[in-house]
Structure 1
């Protein structure tokens, strides 16, 4: 496996730093990897993929083994399959691996843009994230042929 690292867009560096918990702050995500995986999932859910024009030099590229240790490599693989509809995107070669990482980085970049919009003007990111997730959950529609149990609540 090649040592291809996951990078963050330069224009998102300060924002992703603010999302990551430190000793002094309590934020929604414990690591950059956690924030990037959430952002990538949000990006694909919203159907947004944003190319990265310039990578950040402030945040060191993240080793893939950090993602693998949390089983996030499975998310990266699923994003690649969902995006390409091609099982060959999971091939064990450098070209396929680079493409999977590029897809992940671009969905994460789009997800970070969405989160920036959601958190604009917010002081407490954790609270704002909970409000967003709650509103997303409530906006899910029930299929016509499904029985809606929520009416009994």
Structure 2
């Protein structure tokens, strides 16, 4: 259970990724909400050491109320693993760290799903993409600590 949650903050999203995120949530959607994309992107980003600060933020961040307790715990885990300092758990900086890993991980997630700006997600492509997503979720690609084979998300 997360010991500190600032419910007044929003989790930042990159303006440069806005269009692709919306594409994944409309029509034959792959994800239901930004929250889903950000959480998976942050884990993929952390796993791949893809920490990239957001240069230009999308007009609105994602309200903390849309994240679950498990998401808050994941934010804590990523922030602690990034800084190796327990004090980060009581700091708003942990949300910046989470956002930066999500920002760095999103392009990698798109690559894993074989999706780019020209990809049309029709009903057939959606099913294929969801199968790839399930495969990613069940594979070692989300391993948090490569040195510890017992710790998986």
Partner residue in 2 for 1:6: 11
1:35 pairs with one of 12, 16, 37: 37
Could you tell me how far apart the structure 2 residues matched to 1:17 and 1:112 are? 13
Partner residue in 1 for 2:115: 119
Query: Are the structure 2 counterparts of residues 107 and 125 from structure 1 closer, same or farther at C-alpha, using a change threshold of 3 Å?
Result: farther
Cα deviations across residues 58-111 of structure 1 (Å, max 9, x unaligned)? xx221112113x5311111111011111111112xxxx12x1110011000011
Give the conservation status (yes or no) of the 8 Å contact 1:6–1:63.
Answer: yes
What number of residue pairs does the alignment pair up?
Answer: 129
Q: Point out where structure 2 has 5 or more consecutive residues left out of the alignment.
A: 1-5, 143-153
Q: Does 1:131 align with 2:125?
A: no
Tell me the C-alpha RMSD between the 2 structures: 2.5
Cα deviations across residues 7-37 of structure 1 (Å, max 9, x unaligned)? 21110000111122x4xx2322111101100
Partner residue in 2 for 1:67: 67
Q: Highest CA radius of gyration, 1 or 2?
A: 1
Give the Å deviation of 1:126: 5.2
Please give the residue correspondences for 1:35-54 in structure 2 after superposition, counting only pairs within 5 Å.
Answer: 35-54=37-56
Q: Point out where structure 1 has 5 or more consecutive residues left out of the alignment.
A: 141-153
Query: Are the structure 2 counterparts of residues 84 and 61 from structure 1 closer, same or farther at C-alpha, using a change threshold of 3 Å?
Result: same
Please give the residue correspondences for 1:70-149 in structure 2 after superposition, counting only pairs within 5 Å.
Answer: 71-91=70-90, 96-97=91-92, 99-117=93-111, 118-120=114-116, 121-123=118-120, 124=125, 127-128=128-129, 130-131=131-132, 134=135, 137=139
1:15 pairs with one of 3, 13, 20: 20
Give the conservation status (yes or no) of the 8 Å contact 2:13–2:99.
Answer: yes
What TM-score do you get using the length of structure 1 for normalisation? 0.72
Give the conservation status (yes or no) of the 8 Å contact 1:19–1:125.
Answer: no
